[in-house]
Amino acid sequence: MESLTAKLCAFARAWHSSHSDHTVFNDFLALDFMGQEEYEKVSNFILKRFPQESENSVEFFNRKYFLPIVLSRSRFAEDRVKLESQSGKIQYVICGAGVDTFSFRNKNPNVEVFELDLLATQSYKKKRIQELHWNIAENVHFVAIDFSKDRIIDKLVENGFDRQKPTVVSILGVSYYLPLSVFAETIRQFSEIATTGISIIFDYLQKGAFTAPVLQLKKIVADCGETMAEGFRDHEVFDALERNGFKVDEFLGESALQQRYFRTGNLKAFDSVRLIAAIK
């Protein structure tokens, strides 16, 4: 089963698509995938566990802690996929896909999708897809993987991955729970999966961030039964990328995120979150 924080992220996407007057990222299938019953459960969870001094604590909770992170990274990744697919066929590898709905929103035949996740999470997702009577396109592959044991390239190739095709890899929401050494090893493995152009997209929290929003986010995650790691320093991330042959193509900190995605509306870029697109 997917984690509680994954449900909160899906809830945030669903809430934004139906409540916002300034849509940063429109996951119009998020609510359908969750189902009204699950949506209400998560909403009630927020109301009971995280009361805020606001007339609408669900809206306050989403705007303050989850929407700025979830919306910007999803938009960043999918904009990149759209850009790179304009030149021809590409592969899009989604790490820790969870309840991501890109495979069903995507109408571009140039994009072949590989969803990587734990078997239990994928079993839940496939069951839900069956209940919704959604069709899984031929260019979508579900790759069950245990990241702590399996070699990523082996699992991908077993499921039809072509090492000759340009590839975009998104690793979103993963680094928050990993030490730098483990995340650097993930980058190393992805540096080997394609023999031609590869782009990786990921987000991380800056190490040493102790502002009130960051501390509260860590508490929220802890209340969900998960533990956030300490984060990374920017130069550590750049060094890990360089060691594995990657060059930073885009780097968005708070001010850049605010300018690109939140210039209008009532959302503010989350403190100390970074987005990176790197190429090899």
Length of the chain: 280
From residue 255, how far is each of 66, 80, 173, 268 by CA, in Å?
A: 18, 20, 20, 10
Helix residue spans in the chain (DSSP H): 4-19, 30-34, 36-49, 57-61, 67-84, 102-105, 119-132, 152-158, 180-191, 212-223, 234-243, 254-261
**pLDDT tier for residue 55 given thresholds of 50, 70 and 90:** low
Name 248's bridge partners: 278
**pLDDT tier for residue 180 given thresholds of 50, 70 and 90:** very high
pLDDT at 265: 83
pLDDT at 165: 93
Q: Which domain holds residue 186?
A: 4-279
Each residue's pLDDT tens digit, 193-243: 877 799 999 999 999 888 888 998 998 899 888 899 999 999 999 999 999
**CA-closest candidate to residue 232, choices 255, 263, 204, 196:** 204
- Is pLDDT of 51 > 70? no
Total domain count for the chain?
Answer: 1
Report the alpha-carbon distance of residue 229 to residue 208 in Å, rounded: 11
Q: In the numeric block, which tokens belong to residue 166? A: 């340009």
- Is pLDDT of 50 > 90? no
pLDDT at 2: 61
Each residue's pLDDT tens digit, 120-162: 889 989 999 999 999 999 999 999 998 878 889 999 999 999 9
Mean pLDDT of 173-190: 92
**CA-closest candidate to residue 11, choices 99, 141, 123, 130:** 99
Mean pLDDT of 94-112: 94
Q: In the numeric block, which tokens belong to residue 126? A: 């496939």
Q: In the numeric block, which tokens belong to residue 251? A: 């780097």
Report the alpha-carbon distance of residue 72 to residue 187 in Å, rounded: 21
**pLDDT tier for residue 1 given thresholds of 50, 70 and 90:** low
**CB neighbour class for 137 (10 Å; exposed up to 12, middle 13-18, buried from 19):** middle
Mean pLDDT of 7-19: 92
pLDDT at 22: 82
pLDDT at 162: 94
CATH number at residue 175: 3.40.50.150
Report the alpha-carbon distance of residue 280 to residue 247 in Å, rounded: 6
Report the alpha-carbon distance of residue 193 to residue 153 in Å, rounded: 5
This prediction's pTM: 0.93
